[in-house]
Structure 1
Amino acid sequence: MAGADTETGRGRSISRRAVFGGAAAAAALAVSAFTILRPRNDTVRPDDVLRQDGRPMDQPSSGSPSPSTASPTPTPSDESFGTQIAASEPLPGGNGATTVLAAAGGIVVCGTPKGVVFAWDLGQTATRIGDGGGATTGVATGGVGGTPVLASGHADGWMRLWSLTGQSISSRKVSDPVIAVTVTGSGKAVAVSQKYDSMKDLHSVVRLWDISTGKQIGPAITDHFQGVRGLAFGRLGEDDVLVTGDGAQRVRVRRLSDGRMTHSFRTGDIGGIERLACGEIKGKPVLVSTHLDATLRVYDLATGKRRKKWKFSEQSPDDRGTTALVAGRLGDAPIAVVAHGPWTGDIIVRVWNLDDGDTIGVLGPGPGGAIRAVALAEQGGRPVVAGTAEDRTLRTWSLGPA
């Protein structure tokens, strides 16, 4: 039943879902496609904790790249929902669990608490891109000036651009922690920083940065009450935009070109904002959000009018708490992939149909432990869910037959 918030409507939705192996946590999603990643000379293997030749992380080592040992993967369109399609070799130890994950086409990139950035061509061995400094807080991929790049942001203020073979293109440092990065469809790499101390500040100071030049974009933003609560990058008309929420349940939309706010709206006083993602329904840009009252909502991005609202499950709000949110498409259907991490119980991933609120399927705990990051990627021409587990292995799952 479209738009149903009733227990009956949600019960019908859950009765149709299937539960498969897998679980999830944090995520990021890039929307630009680029060329296939080629292995560089320091392709990592499970026992390679550090580079063995003593060279800096952003310089290639000598010798020939080692061939991948990953086995061929089935075509995702031939698999039922939740079928594991591929599993990479584990990341080397000593880097910590994945903090952020992003995907563009068949390329998936991740960052770690040690500031190390890795990339995969799905089903292949991970490539160590480089060490950007403090904990990695954002990764993105796309094209800048016609060149495929990977952007990374870090908790110590570093923001960097890398080639897909690991060479450093740009390395800039700002005074505040970077909280997100993106590569826009128009070919601009942008970082978002925030200065905020919850013990003494009512409002944070947010700034936008051009990663290539290190220059600030627009004026400082000082009106986020209790800091940024939820952040997403999207497209509105002809503009690439940044969408942020705050502790007062206010959403702001800003142009990335000049940092100017185009409009704002409130989501209401009940159920604070957790996470935001930009998507599209029937050709119109929308904002998808999760809230502290255990609801998934959809807003018209241009007007702020709420379109939809659904409970997570019959246990809501007792199952409140999310660790990841990504929006995309599955065929003609707009979807959201939500990693639910309730205070009690297992982390699971629900895939929602945003047209009617039905749960297409659920990925539950499985091999490798709870997944710590999740993204929507593409494999064999079909969208797949990609995630990294506690065992530092990248796995992908089918979203069902074509």
Structure 2
Amino acid sequence: MHSATSRLASGGRDHTVRIWNVATGKQVGAPLTGHTGAVMSVAFSPDGTRLASAGFDHTVRIWNVATGRQVGAPLTGHTYPVYSVAFSPDGTRLASAGDDGTLRIWNVATGKQVGTPLTDHTYPVYSVAFSPDGTRLASAGDDGDTMRIWNVATGKQIGTPLTDHPGTVQSVVFSPDGTRLASAGGADKTVRIWDVATGRQIGAPLTGHTGTVQSVAFSPDGTRLASGGHDKTVRIWDVALPDDLPRAVCAIAGRSFTLQEWQQYIPTEPYRPSCPAH
């Protein structure tokens, strides 16, 4: 959903994309048609003027929200269904994840692929997400090493895969401040939160779902996390961090902890500089 315009987008097995008015629940305009297979993912651009969609026809498409018309030709390159799309925070790039085990980054203005596909995944990739500053990508899929973080500029993987989920990971999302990553599990039916700086899991898995967890999303202030799954429930979790922790560390140590010190003394919290920069 794009909050500035109060619109919601959906994609379905009928090969269409639809836009809805959140206040009235009414469909806005006619369905957006062009896909020749089920639509698996939709995403608004940050300014709300564009909508990206991806699906079983192996393509990614970009739409003009105001007119409902497709912008340019379909983005092609994936050799199997495309499961997830995400715009960069500045709206200039679009990332896609597919059943071919690759991630691809596209120039939104030109429709051209940027660089070569990111290929370390060995099985389908189900979810992709940009960090809030646009410098990193997170991806999750069906392989044994299920979550990876990438440097957008170089296309290189950062660190080692995050592997505590015993099976498929269906969804990943960065927290609004970029310090945490949330993931939704398939086989283990759990939600997990990770420290982006260290790659370590924060706290115990969040349990309660009785089926595969399909999607996770942070609240704008990062204090709540929503999850939805095959058990037909949506759950909201309190994931607020202690705001006074960095200030307390600064007062005690007189300086910011190094990453290594933070890992040693506060391993359950994501790394944050303790003292204001001078």
Amino acid across the alignment from 1:264: T
Unaligned runs of 5+ in 1: 1-29, 37-105, 197-203, 357-402
Q: Tell me, in whole angstroms, the C-alpha distance in 2 between the residues paired with 1:337 and 1:257.
A: 30
Post-superposition shift, 1:118? 1.0
One of 65, 75, 86 as aligned partner of 1:182: 86
- Corresponding residue number in structure 2 for 1:300: 195
Structure number with bigger Rg: 1
1:328-365 CA-to-partner distances (Å, cap 9, x unmatched) read: 24xx56222111324xxxx1111111238xxxxxxxxx
Give the TM-score taking structure 1 as reference length.
Answer: 0.51
One of 64, 85, 97 as aligned partner of 1:163: 64
Could you say what secondary structure the match of 1:167 adopts? coil
1:59-96 CA-to-partner distances (Å, cap 9, x unmatched) read: xxxxxxxxxxxxxxxxxxxxxxxxxxxxxxxxxxxxxx
Could you say what secondary structure the match of 2:40 adopts? strand
2:198 corresponds to 1:312: no
Residues 149 and 129 of structure 1: CA distance in aligned 2, closer, same or farther (over 3 Å): farther
Q: Tell me, in whole angstroms, the C-alpha distance in 1 between the residues paired with 2:211 and 2:57.
A: 31
Amino acid across the alignment from 2:204: K
- Corresponding residue number in structure 2 for 1:322: 213
1:11-53 CA-to-partner distances (Å, cap 9, x unmatched) read: xxxxxxxxxxxxxxxxxxx6x654x3xxxxxxxxxxxxxxxxx
Post-superposition shift, 1:245? 4.1
Unaligned runs of 5+ in 2: 242-278
- Corresponding residue number in structure 2 for 1:275: 170
8 Å CA contact 1:138–1:154 kept in 2: the answer is yes
Q: Tell me, in whole angstroms, the C-alpha distance in 1 between the residues paired with 2:142 and 2:160.
A: 11
Would you say how many aligned residue pairs link Structure 1 and Structure 2? 234
8 Å CA contact 1:234–1:243 kept in 2: the answer is no
Q: Tell me, in whole angstroms, the C-alpha distance in 2 between the residues paired with 1:322 and 1:147.
A: 28
Post-superposition shift, 1:248? 1.1
Q: Which has the higher contact order (CA 8 A, sep 6+)?
A: 1
1:239-264 CA-to-partner distances (Å, cap 9, x unmatched) read: 15243344213421124455333333
RMSD: 2.9
Post-superposition shift, 1:304? 0.7
- Corresponding residue number in structure 1 for 2:155: 259
Give the TM-score taking structure 2 as reference length.
Answer: 0.71
1:301-350 CA-to-partner distances (Å, cap 9, x unmatched) read: 2321111223423xx7xx24223322224xx56222111324xxxx1111
One of 210, 235, 259 as aligned partner of 2:107: 210
Point out the structure with the larger strand share.
Answer: 1
Q: Tell me, in whole angstroms, the C-alpha distance in 2 between the residues paired with 1:170 and 1:126.
A: 24
Amino acid across the alignment from 2:166: G
Could you say what secondary structure the match of 2:188 adopts? coil
Q: Tell me, in whole angstroms, the C-alpha distance in 2 between the residues paired with 1:153 and 1:212.
A: 17
Residues 245 and 178 of structure 1: CA distance in aligned 2, closer, same or farther (over 3 Å): closer
Post-superposition shift, 1:298? 0.6
Identity %: 21
8 Å CA contact 1:276–1:287 kept in 2: the answer is no
2:42 corresponds to 1:139: yes
Post-superposition shift, 1:179? 2.2
